[in-house]
Amino acid sequence: MKAPNVVYVVVSSLLLGAGCASDSLHESDRGLEGTLRSQLDQREVHIEVHRGIVTLTGKVRTEEDRQRIDYLVRNTSGVVAVKDELQVRLPSPGVYGAYPSAIPVHVGPGPDLPPTGSITLPPPVVVPDYPRLKLQAWTDSDGIIASRISRQLTPEAVPRGTLEGVTITVRSGVVYLQGKVDTQGEREALIYAVQRAGGMSAIYDQLQVQ
């Protein structure tokens, strides 16, 4: 007569154990979710964890941001798999290239640059990969921006030969692009590289496509 009671006890123990395991798994998912939120610190990225599988939804500014977040999550302890459903925002109207930026790009001459004959400008910034490019800053503070632009101008970012005869001037935090390029794609690549440098308040695109 005691056998049914034994079976009942065994079944109850199994159910209790399964419930504890489920609670433990749930706590583990919540802990992992909290860790990821703290690491990413992205308000517009939504994180959901179920049995160690992380689902990412929301929007990020650039493809580079998406890849960085995906890599960080995949290499976090406790993550079993990642469902990356993040969306990359489109560039803002009037901004060239694939890099969304808050820096406005204006097509046209913009404010006139004063003649340089009456003032002494700092030496032009040297761009190693483009020795025929002229990158000129008007002040020491403008020189900081010019140096940042120089570091972005690489053959990987802008095709070789594109910048021959191009002049980039930085004055009062504003960047002027002048000269000729071969294609619209090269024009956009150059503007994209300048945007990535950051630090300027606006870009005036005076480039001409040959």
Q: What is the pLDDT of residues 23-52, one digit of tens each?
A: 677 888 888 888 888 888 777 889 999 988
pLDDT at 162: 65
Buried-exposed string 52-66: b where 16+ CB fall within 10 A, e elsewhere: eebebeeebebeebb
Q: Kindly compute the dihedral angle of the four CA atoms of residues 158, 143, 98, 182, in this order, to the nearest 10 degrees.
A: -40
- Set out the domains of the chain in order of their start, with CATH numbers: 3-88 (3.30.1340.30), 105-209 (no CATH)
Work out the average pLDDT over 140-157: 89
Degrees, nearest 5: CA angle 31-33-38: 95
Q: What is the pLDDT of residues 65-86, one digit of tens each?
A: 787 888 889 888 889 988 988 8
Degrees, nearest 5: CA angle 76-37-53: 50
pLDDT at 6: 53
pLDDT at 106: 82
pLDDT at 142: 92
Q: What is the pLDDT of residues 168-203, one digit of tens each?
A: 999 999 999 999 888 887 888 898 889 888 888 889
pLDDT at 158: 82
Does residue 104 register a pLDDT over 60? yes
pLDDT at 98: 44
User: What pLDDT band is residue 16 in, cutting at 50, 70 and 90?
Assistant: low
Q: What is the mean pLDDT of the chain?
A: 79
Does residue 90 register a pLDDT over 50? no
Q: What percent of the chain has pLDDT over 70?
A: 74
pLDDT at 101: 56
pLDDT at 96: 43
Name the residue among 97, 179, 172 with its Cα closest to residue 130: 179
User: What pLDDT band is residue 97 in, cutting at 50, 70 and 90?
Assistant: very low
Work out the average pLDDT over 150-154: 89
94 vs 106: CA distance, rounded Å: 7
Q: Which residues pair with 209 in a beta bridge?
A: 181
pLDDT at 89: 63
